[in-house]
Structure 1
Amino acid sequence: MQYKLLGRSGLKVSELCLGTMGFGTEGGWGADKETSMAIMDEFANAGGNFIDTANIYKFGTSEKIIGEYINNHDRDYFVLASKYTLRDGEQFTNPNAAGNSRKNMMRSVEQSLKRLNTEFLDVFYLHIWDDITPIDEVLRGLDDLVRQGKINYIAISDTPAWVVSKGNTLAELMGWSQFVALQVEYSLLQRTPERELIPMAKHFGMTVTPWAPLAGGALTGKYLRGEQGRIKPQSNRLDENSERITRVVMAIADELSVSPAHVALKWTMQQGFSCTPIVGATKVDQLKDNLKTIDVTLTEDHMKRLDEASAIKLGFPGDFFKEDGVKLSVFGGFYDKVEKRK
């Protein structure tokens, strides 16, 4: 396992992040405690140190299992990331038990620390934008937690690019902690973050940590093989276009004698920007297979075929700036075509 810096920080994280949304059996699916422990053992033995969870995952069971594990191992080896926003526990009558507010932030982080049985979180994400709380309230609260030593770094997930941009700019001006990572859905079947979110992350030097990089297992080809899974049949992850893209992934996997999952994951890692995909697992064998991704390299031809098969329209202004390989600039009240500088 190789290590890379998380955003514009000195924090070293493994090139794959372990997703633990399935740690626990609530809801009729997931890994029991014994299996979850074995998965973390496998990850750590491979050199993995970056673990992703959230207060809502399995109603807090995920954090409890991780807490028990890390307290029987070297806590300082692990880079532990959790999240707040969504309702956790039995908070059904509390109107402030969800959302991005400072009140819910402080409540949530304290509960997460208790479940994880740790004094600090390495990375703390805002889980999803609530479109209510002012971004300055969020940034000031997160910075206070950093100053209190309860979290080391801040990050953000599932939030519009303009909100993140405003937040990081405000944080820079005020001397507050800035977001070092951006967690969004990103895969060969979901490339819409390339319109605004990923260019924004590149500009601010943030690491992208894609969730569902295998599109819920669709990119492994298991649904084309007739295997069962948790994706609903009417999902766009299983439509005609998605099947076409998946077949390209499977063809390249055959050429390299690797699994389709390796190809799909490696595609996210070879995009030319800092990207650490989150690989979830509810079985040890699933993780073992995903870990083999680090030994795979896609050629320029492979990347080109995958890019072309999964290409999306950037829309305005992305496509506008790429029109005919030129930029449009205003001179004297009219548009002149000028050569695009490399």
Structure 2
Amino acid sequence: MDYRTLGRSGCAVSTLTLGTMTFGSETDEAGSHAQLDAFVEAGGNLVDTADVYTSGISEEIIGRWLAQASPDVRDRVVLATKGRFPMGEDVNDVGLSRRHLERALEDSLRRLGVERIDLYQVHSWDPVTPLAETLDTLDGFVRAGKVRYVGLSNYTGWQVQKVMATSRERRLQAPVTLQPQYNLLTRELEWEVVPSCLDAGLGLLPWSPLAGGWLTGKYSQEQRPTGATRLGEDPERGMEAYDRRSSSQRTWDVVDALREVAEARGVPMAQVALAWLVDRPAVTSVILGARTLEQLSGNLAAAGLHLDEAEVNRLDSASDPGAGEYPYGELALQQRDRSLSAES
């Protein structure tokens, strides 16, 4: 397992993170504990959850595992959770207000059975709460010793820049990470979100690195999902999204390129997709979400796998989402022309 720091912090984390959104829903407690054991045994140390995952049950499962783990294991685990989304019916049981976040943090600490969270992330932008209120609250968590680092999740490029500027202006604890959706089929954040994070020194913690199973090779252009897949077992879960993605030729071009690289390497497609993502600019750690121990073990085998330049170029070319004409396409050409002129 390789390790990197959380953004510009000094905290080292594994380049593969255990995501726990399935805990308590698709994965029972025994299976969840087995995943946690296997992850730590493989050298992983960053465990990511959220209060909203199975309405708090994911955090409770992790808390019971931590309670029975050895002191050495508890000390090695870097624990991350999130707050923002509804956890009740009251009008104040949602958002990034001081009132909601204080309650959300205390509830997460209780469910996890810990005195402090290593990385506390705001789960999404809140258009209602003043940003200063949210950042003041997070800064207070750190000063009180209840949180070590703070992070963002699902923020756009301009939102990242606004957060960092406000943090500097008010001399508050600044976020060290951003957790976005990022994979070979979802690369549009490279237009502005990734540059914003590189400029701000934030480390990326990508979720959905396998695009909901698309990058494992389990879907075929000739046949709709059947059998032991999420869509095969529950067609109502997201067949509309499946049809939208499957109708794009780019999707199948990416799958074909991924299969070619994987077959040449002699490894599963999922491992190649993870290796490509781990080595993207600004990425600190990639979040693995698995229903079963077998799935997790297969993905953990990607640890230490690095693609060569030709393999990366093949995948980059197939997965290029295109930037259109303006603003991204035209401005990128202008920047490229200037870069070439400077080199010459």
TM over 0.5: yes
Equivalent of 1:307 in 316, 321, 342: 316
Task: Give the corresponding residue for 2:14.
Answer: 14
RMSD value, Cα: 1.8
Q: Which has the higher contact order (CA 8 A, sep 6+)?
A: 2
Equivalent of 1:253 in 256, 259, 262: 262
Percent of aligned pairs sharing the same letter: 37
* Aligned 1:127-142 pairs, distance under 5 A: 127-142=123-138
* Aligned 1:216-295 pairs, distance under 5 A: 216-224=212-220, 227-231=227-231, 232-235=238-241, 236-240=244-248, 241-295=250-304
| CA–CA distance in structure 2, aligned partners of residues 257 and 282 of structure 1 | 24
Task: Give the corresponding residue for 1:326.
Answer: 337
| CA–CA distance in structure 2, aligned partners of residues 119 and 218 of structure 1 | 39
Paired AA for residue 300 in structure 1: E
Equivalent of 2:185 in 167, 189, 213: 189
Task: Give the corresponding residue for 2:30.
Answer: 34
Shift of 1:98: 0.5
Task: Give the corresponding residue for 1:170.
Answer: 166
Runs of 5+ consecutive residues of structure 1 not aligned to the other structure: 329-337
Shift of 1:274: 3.1
Shift of 1:297: 2.1
Shift of 1:317: 3.6
Q: Which range moved further: 270-279 or 39-48?
A: 270-279
| CA–CA distance in structure 1, aligned partners of residues 283 and 207 of structure 2 | 15
Task: Give the corresponding residue for 1:23.
Answer: 23
Give yes or no for contact 2:5–2:284 (8 Å, CA) kept in 1: no
Per the normalisation by structure 1, the TM-score is: 0.91
Equivalent of 1:151 in 138, 147, 163: 147
Task: Give the corresponding residue for 1:206.
Answer: 202
Q: Which range moved further: 238-247 or 202-211?
A: 238-247
| CA–CA distance in structure 2, aligned partners of residues 43 and 326 of structure 1 | 46
Q: Which range moved further: 155-164 or 301-310?
A: 155-164
| CA–CA distance in structure 1, aligned partners of residues 113 and 274 of structure 2 | 32
| CA–CA distance in structure 2, aligned partners of residues 83 and 108 of structure 1 | 9
Q: Deviations over 1:258-283 (max 9, x none)?
A: 00000111111122333311001121
Runs of 5+ consecutive residues of structure 2 not aligned to the other structure: 232-237
| CA–CA distance in structure 2, aligned partners of residues 132 and 265 of structure 1 | 36
Paired AA for residue 313 in structure 2: K
Shift of 1:213: 0.6
Shift of 1:71: 1.9
Task: Give the corresponding residue for 2:234.
Answer: none
Q: Which range moved further: 129-138 or 115-124?
A: 129-138
| CA–CA distance in structure 2, aligned partners of residues 101 and 313 of structure 1 | 38
